[in-house]
Amino acid sequence: MAYDAVVLVSFGGPERPEDVMPFLQNVTRGRGVPPERLAEVAEHYQHFGGVSPINQQNRELIAAIRADFAANGIDLPVYWGNRNWHPMLADTVTQMRDDGVTNALAFVTSAYGGYSSCRQYQEDIAAARAAVGPDAPVIEKLRQFWDHPGFVEPHVDAVRAALGQLDPARRDTTRLVFTAHSVPTSMAASAGPHGGRYEAQLRETAALVAAAAAPDLPYDLVWQSRSGPPQVPWLEPDVNDHLAVLAEKGVTGVVVSPIGFVSDHLEVVWDLDTEARDTARRLGLDFARAATPGVDPRFVAMVRELVLERTDPDGARLRRRLGELPLWDICPTVCCVPARRP
């Protein structure tokens, strides 16, 4: 198959105070998120002047991908469209159509399977194509990359660097805490043969990062940024509750590594750097937050490798990975479908 473009597909975030509410309404439409929760999250954004860092981070990632493609002889334009805020994916797909694009590959800024991280992005792509009409380009999502060295290695280095900020004399009471966005348990236990991928893949990534960064330290995978109405069960424990349990057990310091994400967006700079750090301070725990891949050259090169896996005659041989869970190039239609429609 010959491809004529790459499109980066992401979550999107507000860039002005007046964008915050309409953005949150886009995120939560039809999801039963209580208005109190929306008001609280709007407040988090307003602490940063109504500007989420995520769009600027994606601009920087796209600039780095373009430079990497150019340096490596890949002659494909790179477009950008979001699920929840401008540039909206449907507008981007319109532009791609107008530019004559017919077959594109999509790089989604989420490493994992699962409904929000994989299937919902495929639904976003299908909806954007439907809005454009029959002459919309075909768009195929690149594979999940939770165990790709270009994703794992930057996390490993970041955990090592964060450990370096903690007291080495207290290493035997130091602990690694990996985090990812919580999801409703009904979504986590996705139906079909590929159910439960999100949590299983996160556990594999946590194990890979821990083994390479600090094999002597115990670690846990916990959840952050729970949304939704309180009566709906979401994956637990929450990172803040987990820190309290660790402090109780005699742990003196934590490295918190958000392996669920690819950049230090608002859920990282607010939910971890502000809230979880405050929790740690109250509990008397030393706290260091590990960085996400961002524009690490290995992560940028990974995007090129994922493209080459699909375009190079030897592509299958380029499929670099560190884990052992099932991996597929193209998601089966039953993959990552939630047990109950969210």
Ligand X SMILES: CC1=C(CCC(=O)O)c2cc3nc(cc4[nH]c(cc5[nH]c(cc1n2)c(C)c5CCC(=O)O)c(CCC(=O)O)c4C)C(CCC(=O)O)=C3C
When CB distances are held under 5 to 8 angstroms depending on the partner's kind, the choice from Fe ion, ligand X, none that residue 118 binds is Fe ion
For ligand X, the binding residues in 33-62 under the rule CB under 6 A are 33, 37, 41, 52-54
Identify which range of 31-39, 249-257, 274-282, 322-330 contacts ligand X by CB under 6 A: 31-39
Element (H, E) at 49: none
Please tell me whether 182 is known to bind a ligand: no
The tokens for 227 are 């949304």
Q: Tell the burial category of 284 from Cβ atoms under 10 Å away from its Cβ (0-12, 13-18, 19+).
A: exposed
Cβ of residue 301: shortest distance to ligand X, in angstroms?
21
From candidates 62, 290, 336, 337, binder to Fe ion by CB under 5 A? 336
Please tell me whether 181 is known to bind a ligand: yes
Cβ of residue 2: shortest distance to ligand X, in angstroms?
29
Distance CA 234, CA 329 (A): 29
Identify which range of 137-145, 265-273, 288-296, 321-329 contacts ligand X by CB under 6 A: 265-273
Distance CA 180, CA 198 (A): 10
Give the CA angle between residues 287, 292, 296 to the nearest 5°.
135
For Fe ion, the binding residues in 313-332 under the rule CB under 5 A are 331
Looking only at the bridges linking them, the beta strands covering 78-82 and 103-108 are unpaired
Residue 155 binds ligand X (CB under 6 A): no
Please tell me whether 52 is known to bind a ligand: yes
Please tell me whether 257 is known to bind a ligand: no
Give the CA angle between residues 278, 283, 287 to the nearest 5°.
60
HEC readout, 161-189: HHHCCCCHHHHHHEEEEEEEECCEHHHHC
Residue 110 binds ligand X (CB under 6 A): yes
Distance CA 270, CA 239 (A): 13
Q: Which is nearer to ligand X, 106 or 163 (CB)?
A: 106
Binding footprint of ligand X on the chain (CB under 6 A): 11, 13, 24, 27-28, 31, 33, 37, 41, 52-54, 109-110, 116-117, 181, 183, 225, 227-228, 260, 265-267, 342
Annotated binding site: 52, 121, 181, 267
Annotated binding site for Fe-coproporphyrin III: 52, 121
